[in-house]
Amino acid sequence: MNPGTKKKPHSRLPMIAQAGPVSLWMILFVTIPMLFIIFISFMTRGTFGGVEYTPTLTSYKTLADVIYLNVILKSLRVAVVTTAVCLLLGYPFAYYIARKPADVASRLIMLLMIPLWTNSLMRLNAWMLLFQTNGPVNKALLALGLVEKPVMFLYTDGLVLLGLITNFLPFAVLPMYSSIEKLQNAMLEASADLGAKPSTTFLRVTLPLTCPGIFSAVILTFIPALGTYTITDMLGGGKVLYIGNIIKNQFGTIRNWPLGAALSVLLLLITALLIFIYSRFASIEDMEVM
């Protein structure tokens, strides 16, 4: 090596230059805000909005109120249903794509991604147009004689559910697809050769091996479905309230920051619990996020 170059073998400069910015960003804009919101949730609501720095548990006691408890339980129920439907619809679909030859599969995945580049709110608006009182769905139902008068689909929980499912299904399919794709044919053949019925092979080989993908799908649908307010705002018309809407309102018109913070902490705890369960049977590093 050229003896003229001044290169310290243990120079820390490249490390700081490369890992520094991302570390700083994450600490400044993720760690500190997260700690601060936990802190705020234990503070008192200011008289004119804002926060008074007197510790209290009022916000958490408010959450136990029947009104809020009902909203929380309803949000949880809707998120569970959304996740379950996404898994049930998504798994066979992901399986179908994953078993295709690689070039066909990558094209099918591309076909799945294109609708995601359409503005998500406009896609929700399209569902509203379809389910209008005088929209095509109602017209078809009337023409078929299935209903006597138009059904009010708009601003109901059913339409919100449809919006949630169609919105999150792609994000359930993608991780399950990568999991199923990694599945080796040899495993399935071995199971069949050893005399297992297809259903046994599925339950005892395919399902356990694709478990990380399934759980990634749960995390990527359940948590966003629990926290959304745009879908519920658009399709629920603001009449149907979920956790997300309530959090948002605390920082808008109602101005009760500590309560909004406490609800956020609740969502954080649910997220942490799910991640903890996930880490019990798969490495977080292996989580498929795209």
Secondary structure class of 254 (helix, strand, coil):
coil
In the numeric block, the tokens 């399986």 are attached to 95
Q: Give the nearer residue to another protein in terms of CB position, either 20 or 158.
A: 20
Q: Which is nearer to another protein, 198 or 208 (CB)?
A: 198
Smallest distance, Å, CB 66 to another protein?
A: 23
Helix H, strand E, coil C: the string for 162-204 is HHHHHHHHHHHHHHHHHHHHHCCHHHHHHHHHCCCCHHHHHHH
Of 6 and 66, CB closest to another protein: 6
Q: Smallest gap, in angstroms, from Cβ of residue 69 to another protein?
A: 19
Count the Cβ atoms, other than its own, within 10 Å of residue 197.
Answer: 10
The amino acid occupying position 36 is: F
Q: Residue 26 has which token pair?
A: 């994450």
Q: Which residues of 248-261 are buried (b: 16+ CB within 10 A; e: fewer)?
A: bbbeeeeebbbbbb
CB 208 to another protein: min, Å: 22
* Closest by CA position to 262, among listed 11, 47, 38, 15: 38
Q: How far is the CB of 166 from another protein (least distance, A)?
A: 6
The residue ranges of DSSP E strands in the chain, in sequence order, are 44-45, 51-52
Distance between alpha carbon 97 and the CA centroid of its chain, in Å?
22
Q: Which is nearer to another protein, 84 or 224 (CB)?
A: 224
Smaller CB separation from another protein, 115 or 208: 115
Kindly tell me which of 36 and 281 has the beta carbon lying closer to another protein.
36
Task: Say how far apart CA 97 and CA 105 lie, in whole Å.
Answer: 5
Q: Closer to another protein by CB, 82 or 264: give it.
A: 264
Q: Which of 45, 76, 27 is nearest to 266 (CA)?
A: 76
Q: Least distance from C-beta 264 to another protein, angstroms? A: 4
Q: What are the phi and psi torsion angles at 51 (to 5°)?
A: -135, 135
Distance between CA atoms of 245 and 40, rounded to whole angstroms? 19
In angstroms, what is the minimal distance from the CB of 168 to another protein? Answer: 12
Residue 44: beta bridge partners? Answer: 52
- Cβ 109 to another protein, closest distance in Å? 12
- Tell me whether residue 42 or residue 93 sits nearer to another protein (CB atom): 93
Q: How far is the CB of 122 from another protein (least distance, A)?
A: 5
